[in-house]
Amino acid sequence: MRVLHISTFQKGGAGMAAFRLHKQLLSQGVKSEYLFLLNGEISEHVHGYYTQNRVLSIMLRVLKKAGLPLDMEQRNDFKIRKYKRKVELFSFARTPYSALNDHILFQQCDLIHLHFIANFVDFPSFFAGLNKPIIWTLHDMNPFMGGFHYRGDKERFGKALQDLDFEQFDTKKNALDAYDPEQITVVTPSKWLLNESKRSKILGKYKHKHISNGIDINTFTLQDKNSCRQKLGLNKGATIVLFVAESLSNYRKGFDMIKNLFDTNEVQKLDVQFVAIGKINESEKIPQVVYLGSINSEERMSEAYNAADIFLLPSREDNLPNTMIESLCCGTPIVGFNIGGVSETILNGFNGFLSQKVSAPALKEALEKCLQHLPEFDRQEIADQSQKKYSVSDQAKAFIELYEVSGGFNKP
């Protein structure tokens, strides 16, 4: 049985979750291949889809800056150029990659496992005449929305991009309406996203299943706090509150709320040291925060979670963040909001505290409560319970069972 994973990225939150599963499937004897478009490294069983001629690439960029986009990808980008710094992501249902179905890996596979496919899969051509079982893991709301990926951006910019958003929604719906509903199973890492997808007009008719993301519990595990702080150059005596995001300027991830606490001088009353991991412009930095930059090593990230007393997760919307389950498997409690998959995972007083209201003052109150109860948290128990729930090995076994039910094992 041959499984082909298709993902826009190999790296980043969604790409990392998909890639972890792919590697684990290989270790359990599944013939798994991983095909990505951007931000990845080619190796055995890992394949980049598109390599553009360097001279042509430079020419296209010059013409794009001059206001003359040539290919579909650049024309799509040009349509939302005005909003690119405001909207987290707006993706298109029509892409230049209409020949994806002709790829040799596509032809050879028995089952297709879609992941985050925004701006990669061309919906009309991909689903036309396709006769292979599909497992589709959702990493956000985009597969059943138009161009937006979460409702927050749609609420803020939906009027300005209304016609473009409707166009993406209709293109997706028309493409999927023509595809056999028995051939697709939608998988969501959170029950919240499961319910949202089931209610949607695009994916609601398909079979749905909830399977949590998994991580390497041998890497993300409880370690000595002082040793980890020494490796990262952090103060051994401080109470450390950690924040992690691929981009710290991502509005949905809520780093601006931490900035608000500093602007209103509320943080000084807490007597904590804030540490942030992720990309950020120098102009956006808060002087009192310790920045560790971007960390790509899972071992280094595990040390960061272990070095922290509290992991701060002020996402306004989220599915099942990798950072949350990584932190919990390291025994570090969470402070955040009662939203999405976070609300299903955090139990007040056991592995963190959540605020019902999404705001900077509410975040401070939840953080204060967590600090007051910090000595009561059993980090070993938090780690043990989380590792039982989020093992990538168990996740792979659940998918293998799903592949069997879906018909992916019909061929040798």
3-state DSSP of 284-331: HCCCCCEECCCCCCHHHHHHHHHHCCEEEECCCCCCCCHHHHHHHHCC
Structural domain including 64 reads 2-214+392-406
Burial class of 131 by CB neighbour count within 10 A (0 to 12, 13 to 18, 19+)? exposed
What distance in Å separates the CA atoms of residue 23 and residue 313, rounded to the nearest whole number?
28
What distance in Å separates the CA atoms of residue 253 and residue 245, rounded to the nearest whole number?
7
Q: Is residue 154 part of a domain?
A: yes
Q: Is residue 412 part of a domain?
A: no
Is residue 273 located within the same domain as residue 383? yes
What distance in Å separates the CA atoms of residue 21 and residue 302, rounded to the nearest whole number?
19
Rg, the chain, Cα only: 22
Is residue 200 located within the same domain as residue 232? no
Report pLDDT for 264.
81
Torsion of CA 274, 277, 280, 284, to 10 degrees: 0
Is residue 82 located within the same domain as residue 162? yes
Q: Take residue 232 and report the two structure tokens written for it.
A: 């990262």
Residue type for 147, please? Answer: G
Q: Is residue 126 part of a domain?
A: yes
Report pLDDT for 412.
42
Q: Take residue 396 and report the two structure tokens written for it.
A: 């792979």
Evaluate whether 407 touches 133 at the Cβ level (below 8 Å). yes
Is residue 341 located within the same domain as residue 229? yes
Q: Is residue 411 part of a domain?
A: no
Residue 207's Cβ-side half-sphere holds a number of Cα atoms within 13 Å equal to: 13
Q: How far is CA 21 from CA 105, 216, 323, 361, in A?
A: 18, 10, 16, 38
Q: What is the pLDDT along the chain (412 residues), one digit of tens a residue?
A: 899 999 999 988 999 999 999 999 999 999 999 999 987 788 899 999 865 444 544 555 565 566 555 567 667 777 787 777 788 999 999 998 999 999 999 999 999 999 999 999 999 999 997 889 999 999 999 999 999 999 999 999 989 999 999 999 999 999 999 888 889 999 999 999 999 999 999 999 999 999 999 999 999 999 999 999 999 999 999 999 999 999 998 999 999 998 888 888 777 778 899 999 999 989 889 988 999 999 999 999 999 999 999 999 999 999 999 999 999 999 999 999 999 999 999 999 999 999 999 999 999 999 999 999 999 999 999 999 999 999 999 999 999 999 999 875 554 4
Q: Within a 10 A sphere around the Cβ of 218, how many other Cβ atoms?
A: 11
Is residue 206 located within the same domain as residue 258? no
The helix (run of H) or strand (run of E) holding residue 48 is strand 46-48
Number of domains in the chain: 2
What distance in Å separates the CA atoms of residue 235 and residue 49, rounded to the nearest whole number?
45
Evaluate whether 228 touches 307 at the Cβ level (below 8 Å). yes
Is residue 293 located within the same domain as residue 167? no
Is residue 250 located within the same domain as residue 332? yes
Q: Where are the alpha helices (DSSP H) in 28-67?
A: 54-65
What distance in Å separates the CA atoms of residue 153 and residue 110, rounded to the nearest whole number?
37
Evaluate whether 212 touches 221 at the Cβ level (below 8 Å). no
* DSSP string for residues in 62-129: HHHHTT---SHHHHHHHHTGGGTTTSS-B--SS-S-TTGGGSHHHHH-SEEEE---TTTS-HHHHHTT
Query: Tell me, what CATH number does 356's domain have?
Result: 3.40.50.2000
Evaluate whether 395 touches 385 at the Cβ level (below 8 Å). no
Q: How far is CA 137 from CA 14, 24, 292, in A?
A: 10, 16, 31
Q: Is residue 255 part of a domain?
A: yes
Q: Is residue 220 part of a domain?
A: no
Is residue 244 located within the same domain as residue 168? no
Is residue 207 located within the same domain as residue 229? no
Is residue 90 located within the same domain as residue 236? no
Name which of 33, 63, 62 is nearest 49 in CA terms: 33
Q: Is residue 199 part of a domain?
A: yes
Report pLDDT for 208.
97
DSSP 283: G
Is residue 260 located within the same domain as residue 334? yes
What distance in Å separates the CA atoms of residue 402 and residue 389, rounded to the nearest whole number?
18
Is residue 277 located within the same domain as residue 318? yes
What distance in Å separates the CA atoms of residue 193 and residue 339, rounded to the nearest whole number?
11
DSSP 10: S
Q: Is residue 113 part of a domain?
A: yes
Name which of 216, 229, 211, 223 is nearest 138 in CA terms: 211
